[in-house]
Chains A and B, each alone.
Chain A
Amino acid sequence: MSQQTASVPMPTAQELAIARQKQPRRFILSSIGPMTFLLIFTLYSLIPFFWLVVSATKSQADLFGTFGLWFAPNFNLFTNLGQLFTYNNGIFGRWLLNTLLYAGVGSVVGTFLAAMAGYALAKYNFRGRNLIFSVILGSILVPATTLALPLYLMMSKVGLTNTIWAVLLPILVNPFGVYLARIYASASVPDELLEAGRIDGAGEYRIFTTITLRLLAPALVTILLFGFVAIWTNYFLPLVMFSDSSLFPVTVGLQSWNVTASNASANGQTIYNLIVAGALVSAIPLLIGSILLQRFWRGGLGAGAVKG
C-alpha cells in the first residue's frame, strides 16, 4: 500500500478544482470516446511486450508452430532461461554484468560530474561562464551516433578499442545532465545558504558536498535515471568499439545472436528461443526500475520541458 502511494502522485489542486465542478452524469457520456482511445493505445503499447512474455515460455518449435499471442501447451520458460545462461559458456550473464557495469559506473560518475559543472555554471560568476555554457548547450544538438565513428578512430589510434574504457569514458560526458543540473541548481540552491556556509568557514568543495548535493538530490536522481537508461539502451557506441564479444553489453550481444540466427540456414543452428528469452530478461530490470521511479521521471522532464 505504501508502495502505491509513493508511485502514484496525488491529484493536483487543479485536477481537484475542476473535478469538483463536474457533474457525475456528464462524466460517463463524455468519457466513452476518450477511454476507448486510451484503451486502444494501451493495447498497442502492451501487446508486443505481452508477446515477448508469452514467447519466452515457448520452445523453438512452438515459437514457429503456435499462435504468438497465447501460451503453448508446453511451458518452456525455465528450460529457455537455463539454456540462455549456459549457452556459449554463459556469455549472456557476462553481457548482463557488462551492461550493469557500464550503466552503473557511467551514470553515477557522469551525474556527479554533471552536478559539479551545473552547480559551477549556476552559482558562480566567472570569466568564460557564458562561453562554456553555450558550447555545452550547443553540443546537445550534435547527435551521439555521428560522434561514435570519429571516437572509434581516435580510440584505435591510442589502442583503446576493445577495452572497457572505449565505452566507459565517453559515456561519462552528459551535456544534457549539465544543462538540467544548472537549471535545478539555480532554482533550488539559495545563495544565502552558500554564503552562510562560507561564513562558517567551510571550503567550496565542502559546501558543494554538504549543502548543494543534498539540495540537488531529487534532481540528481532524475539525471542519474536518464543517464542509466541512456547507457543501458546504448547500442551504437559499443557496437562500434567492441569486436571481442566478452565485452559486449546485452544490446549488442542479442543483436549478434539475431544475425547468427538469421543466417542459421547455413549452419543449421537456430537460437530464436534464446533471443526471445534474452530480450525479456534484459528488458525487465529497466521496466521495473522506471515504473517504480516514475515520479522522478516526471519531475525531471517537467523542468526540461518548461524551461527548454
Chain B
Amino acid sequence: MVQKAISLEKLPSQTQRTSRRLHSEALAPYLFLLPFVVLFVLFFIAPIIYAIEQSLFRSERSGLGLGAATVSFNGLGNYLDVVHDPSFYSSVGRVLLYGVVQIPVMIILALILALLLDSTVVRLKAFFRVAFFVPFAIPGIIAALLWAFFYQPSFSPIVKAFQALGLPGPDFLGPGTVLWSIANIAVWTYAGYNMLIIFAALQAIPTEIYEAARVDGCTGFRLAWRIKIPLVAPALILTFFFSIVGALQLFAEPQVLSAISNNVSTSYTPVFYSYTTAFSNNNYYYAAALSVVLAVITCIFSFSVLRVTQRQAGV
C-alpha cells in the first residue's frame, strides 16, 4: 500500500525532468566509480597483468656471472621450471597439510564458542566476547614475535615450567613440531575473530524460528545441531573461505620462526619461497611466475570451496 502511494508520487516528477538532469543522473554512477576503478585498475589489475608478462622472461648473466645481466624472452619456461620445482611442491604440500588440520580445528572451536555464547547456559557473555577478541587486535607479526618467545627455550615460560617439574621441556621448534607451532599462532589469532562472525550470524536468526522449535520440543544440543548450525552455514563458509586464503598466504609466522629455528627454511611456504626468490636471489622473473601459479592455486581452491560447500549446505 505504502509502496504504491510512493510510486504514484514519483510519476509526475519523472515527466518534469529536464534533459540536463537526466544526463547528469546517467553520468553520475560512472563519476562515483571513477576514483575507485582507476586505483583498482592501476594497483590490482595492472600488477596481475604485469606479473604474467614478467613471468615470461628470464635474466641471464653471461660468462662467470659478472657484468650486466641480459633479459631474454623465456616463453613458458619459468612455468615449466615451477612444475618441476621440488621446493615449490614441498612448500605447497606443507601449507595444505597445515590447512587440513588448522582450519577445521579453528572453525570448530570458533563454532563451539559462538554457540555457547549464544546459548542460555552461560554467564559473563560480554567479558568472554572481549577476551576472545583480544588476540585479533594484535597485529599478526607481533603475535608471531610473541609466540616466538613462548617457543624459544631460553625465554619460554612453558619450557621453564616443565623444567621446574623435572620434566624435559617440549621442543616447539623441532622438525616435526614447528608447523603445528605455526598453526597454533594462527588459531590463537583468528579463532576469536571467526567466533565473532559466526556469533553475529547466530544473533541474526529470527526469534520466530526459535519459537517454532520450542513448540516442537527442540532445545539444547538438538536446537544447535538441527537449527542453528544449518542457519549459520553461510557464515561458516565465509570463515572457511577466508581461512583457506589465509593458509595459502602464510608468511609472517614462518618468517619470524625461521630466525630462531633451523627447521623453517626460506622456502617453507609458497609466499616465503617467492619472497626469497625475489629478494634474496634477485630472480624477479621466476618469482613472478611463482606468484602467478600461487594466485591461480588460491583462486581454484577458494572457488571450489565456495562451490562444494554451497551445494552441500544448499545455500
Question: Which residue on chain B has the smallest CB distance to residue A154?
Answer: B50
Q: Which of A45, A172, A275 has the most CB of B within 10 A?
A: A45
Residue B108 at the chain A interface, CB threshold 8 Å: no
- B120 touching A298, Cβ below 8 Å: no
Query: Which chain A residues lie closer than 8 Å to B117 at the CB level?
Result: 38
Query: Which chain A residues lie closer than 8 Å to B24 at the CB level?
Result: 203-204
Out of A14, A19, A64, A144, which one reaches B154, CB within 8 Å? A64
Q: Which of A71-79, A81-89, A124-132 contacts its partner?
A: A124-132
Residue B266 at the chain A interface, CB threshold 8 Å: no
- B126 touching A116, Cβ below 8 Å: no
Residue A169 at the chain B interface, CB threshold 8 Å: yes
| A302-B204 Cα distance, complex, nearest whole Å | 7
Residue B100 at the chain A interface, CB threshold 8 Å: no
| A44-B271 Cα distance, complex, nearest whole Å | 29
Within 8 A of A (CB), among B146-186: 146-150, 154-157, 160-161
| A33-B136 Cα distance, complex, nearest whole Å | 26
Residue B313 at the chain A interface, CB threshold 8 Å: no
- A35 touching B123, Cβ below 8 Å: yes
Out of B123, B131, B133, B234, which one reaches A306, CB within 8 Å? B234
B-contact bits for A1-29, CB 8 A (1 contact / 0 none): 00000011100111101110110000100
Main secondary structure of the interface of A (DSSP, over half): helix
Residue A101 at the chain B interface, CB threshold 8 Å: no
- B238 touching A305, Cβ below 8 Å: yes
Residue A304 at the chain B interface, CB threshold 8 Å: yes
Out of A116, A126, A139, which one reaches B44, CB within 8 Å? A139
Chain A proximity of B167: nearest CB distance (Å): 16
Out of A116, A142, A229, A304, which one reaches B48, CB within 8 Å? A142
Q: Which of B13, B24, B142 has the most CB of A within 10 A?
A: B142
- Knowing A150-B47, A297-B196 are in contact, say whether A120-B28 is a contact too (CB < 8 A): yes
Query: Which chain A residues lie closer than 8 Å to B83 at the CB level?
Result: none
B-contact bits for A32-73, CB 8 A (1 contact / 0 none): 001101100110111011011001000000011001110000
- Knowing A254-B145, A276-B149 are in contact, say whether A31-B121 is a contact too (CB < 8 A): yes
- A14 touching B145, Cβ below 8 Å: no
- Knowing A35-B122, A142-B298, A154-B47 are in contact, say whether A255-B141 is a contact too (CB < 8 A): yes
- B271 touching A37, Cβ below 8 Å: no
- A150 touching B51, Cβ below 8 Å: yes
Out of A31, A117, A192, A199, which one reaches B33, CB within 8 Å? A117
Q: Which of B62-70, B72-80, B86-94, B288-296 contacts its partner?
A: B288-296
Question: Which residue on chain A has the smallest CB distance to residue B157?
Answer: A68
- B141 touching A254, Cβ below 8 Å: yes
| A294-B146 Cα distance, complex, nearest whole Å | 24
Query: Which chain B residues lie closer than 8 Å to A136 at the CB level?
Result: 40
- A258 touching B145, Cβ below 8 Å: yes
Query: Which chain A residues lie closer than 8 Å to B131 at the CB level?
Result: 42, 45-46
Query: Which chain A residues lie closer than 8 Å to B44 at the CB level?
Result: 139, 142, 147, 173, 175
| A126-B28 Cα distance, complex, nearest whole Å | 10
- Knowing A114-B36, A198-B25 are in contact, say whether A255-B255 is a contact too (CB < 8 A): yes
- B146 touching A149, Cβ below 8 Å: no
Count of A interface residues, CB-CB < 8 Å: 109
Question: Which residue on chain A has the smallest CB distance to residue B255?
Answer: A255
- A229 touching B50, Cβ below 8 Å: no
- A45 touching B54, Cβ below 8 Å: no
Out of B196, B248, B251, B302, which one reaches A236, CB within 8 Å? B251
A-contact bits for B183-218, CB 8 A (1 contact / 0 none): 000001001100011111101110100110010000
Question: Which residue on chain A has the smallest CB distance to residue B302?
Answer: A141
Chain A proximity of B231: nearest CB distance (Å): 10
- A121 touching B33, Cβ below 8 Å: yes
- A149 touching B134, Cβ below 8 Å: no
Question: Which residue on chain B has the smallest CB distance to residue A151?
Answer: B47
- Knowing A38-B113, A120-B33, A298-B200 are in contact, say whether A279-B137 is a contact too (CB < 8 A): no
Out of B10, B205, B238, B295, which one reaches A308, CB within 8 Å? B238
| A136-B176 Cα distance, complex, nearest whole Å | 40
- B303 touching A141, Cβ below 8 Å: yes
- Knowing A52-B146, A68-B160, A173-B39 are in contact, say whether A149-B51 is a contact too (CB < 8 A): yes
| A262-B151 Cα distance, complex, nearest whole Å | 14
- B248 touching A38, Cβ below 8 Å: no
Question: Which residue on chain B has the smallest CB distance to residue A174?
Answer: B36
- B39 touching A113, Cβ below 8 Å: yes
Question: Which residue on chain A has the smallest CB distance to residue B139?
Answer: A233
- A150 touching B291, Cβ below 8 Å: yes
15 CB contacts below 8 A, A to B, read A15-B120, A17-B211, A42-B131, A45-B188, A48-B143, A141-B302, A142-B298, A145-B251, A146-B294, A150-B47, A150-B48, A154-B50, A233-B141, A255-B141, A297-B196
Contacts beyond the supplied A116-B32, A283-B137: 6 A-B pairs with Cβ under 8 Å: A34-B121, A41-B191, A124-B28, A153-B288, A205-B28, A272-B155
**Which residues of B approach A to under 8 Å, CB–CB?**
6, 10, 13, 21, 24-26, 28-33, 35-37, 39-40, 42-44, 46-48, 50-51, 54, 109, 112-113, 116-117, 119-124, 126, 128-143, 145-150, 154-157, 160-161, 188, 191-192, 196-201, 203-205, 207, 210-211, 214, 232, 234-235, 237-238, 245, 248-249, 251-252, 255-256, 259-260, 271, 274-275, 278-279, 284, 287-288, 291-292, 294-295, 298-299, 302-303
Name the 10 nearest CB pairs between A and B, nearest first. Answer: A68-B157, A150-B51, A124-B29, A204-B28, A120-B32, A302-B200, A233-B139, A305-B235, A150-B47, A117-B36
